[in-house]
C-alpha cells in the first residue's frame, strides 16, 4: 500500500449528502476480481448521460475539477452496502483524500485499508470549503487544498486552516503504508516461531 504523508491537490466539490456506495460504484460493475480498473465506473450514473457521453452538469466533469485528488462531500458519505469496491473506485480514479462532516463506519474503515485518508471536519468548516470551491469555479480556476497527515491539518493559500482528528494507529498505518497484510508481515518471524513451537507445517514455497 502506498504511504500517505501529505498531499496538495485539486478539490472536487460534490455537494451531496448521503452518497451511498451504489452511487459511488454501481453494482453492475462489481464483477471484476482485481482491485484496479474501477475508476472509469466511479459515479457512473451521475457522470454519464444515457448515450454514454459525459454529463457536463456533473461536478467531476467540470473543467476546473479535472485531475482532482481530494473529494469534498457532505455528511454520511459512503453509506449503504459495505462494498470495498467504493474506495477502490475512488482510489483508481485518483482520489487520496475524502473530506466530509461524517462517514459511514464501514466505508471509513475501508478507506484506511486502501491507503485513502477520510477527513472529518464539522459542518460549518465544510460549508466554508464549499464556498471557497464555488468561488474558485466561478472564476474559472481549480481550488487547491493541502492535507498534512503528520500535522493533521487541512489548509489552502488564502487563509483557510483546520485541524482534524485521527486514530493514532490508523495514522501510523497510513504514514507507513501498512494494510492488514503489511502489519502481519512485520511479525512474520514471531508467527513462524509460534507455528514451529506447535509443530505446524511450514507453508509451501510460492
Range of the domain at 152: 6-197
Q: Is residue 57 part of a domain?
A: yes
Q: Is residue 99 part of a domain?
A: yes
Q: Is residue 39 part of a domain?
A: yes
Q: Is residue 60 part of a domain?
A: yes
* This prediction's pTM: 0.88
What CATH number is attached to the domain comprising 88? 3.20.19.10
Q: Is residue 1 part of a domain?
A: no
Q: Is residue 206 part of a domain?
A: no
pLDDT for position 198: 73
Instruction: Identify the residue with better confidence: 201 or 203.
Output: 201
Q: Is residue 204 part of a domain?
A: no
Q: Is the pLDDT of residue 180 over 80?
A: no
Q: Is residue 152 part of a domain?
A: yes
Per-residue pLDDT tens digits for 88-127: 999 999 999 999 999 999 999 999 999 999 999 999 999 9
Average pLDDT over residues 2-22: 97
Banded model confidence at residue 179, pLDDT cuts 50, 70, 90: low
Total domains, the chain: 1
Write the burial class of residue 155 (CB in 10 Å: 0-12 exposed, 13-18 middle, 19+ buried). Answer: middle
Banded model confidence at residue 206, pLDDT cuts 50, 70, 90: very low
Note whether 118 and 98 are within 8 A (CB): yes
Amino acid at each position: 500500500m502506498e504511504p500517505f504523508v501529505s498531499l496538495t491537490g485539486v478539490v472536487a466539490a460534490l455537494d451531496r449528502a448521503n452518497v451511498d456506495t451504489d452511487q459511488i460504484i454501481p453494482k453492475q460493475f462489481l464483477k471484476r476480481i482485481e482491485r484496479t480498473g474501477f475508476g472509469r465506473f466511479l459515479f457512473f450514473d451521475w457522470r454519464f448521460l444515457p448515450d454514454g457521453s459525459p454529463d457536463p452538469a456533473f461536478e467531476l466533469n467540470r473543467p476546473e475539477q479535472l485531475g482532482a485528488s481530494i473529494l469534498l462531500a457532505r455528511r454520511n458519505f459512503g453509506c449503504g452496502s459495505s462494498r470495498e469496491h467504493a474506495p477502490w473506485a475512488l482510489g483508481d480514479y485518483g482520489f487520496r483524500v475524502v473530506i466530509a462532516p461524517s462517514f459511514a463506519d464501514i466505508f471509513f474503515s475501508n478507506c484506511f485499508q486502501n491507503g485513502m485518508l477520510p477527513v472529518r471536519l464539522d459542518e460549518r468548516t465544510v460549508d466554508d470549503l464549499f464556498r471557497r470551491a464555488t468561488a474558485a469555479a466561478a472564476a474559472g480556476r481549480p481550488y487547491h487544498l493541502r492535507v498534512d497527515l503528520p500535522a493533521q491539518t487541512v489548509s489552502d493559500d488564502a487563509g483557510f486552516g483546520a485541524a482534524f482528528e485521527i486514530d493514532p494507529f490508523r495514522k501510523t498505518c497510513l504514514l507507513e503504508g501498512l494494510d492488514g497484510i503489511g502489519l502481519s508481515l512485520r511479525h512474520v518471524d514471531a508467527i513462524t516461531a509460534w507455528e514451529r513451537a506447535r509443530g505446524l507445517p511450514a507453508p509451501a514455497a510460492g
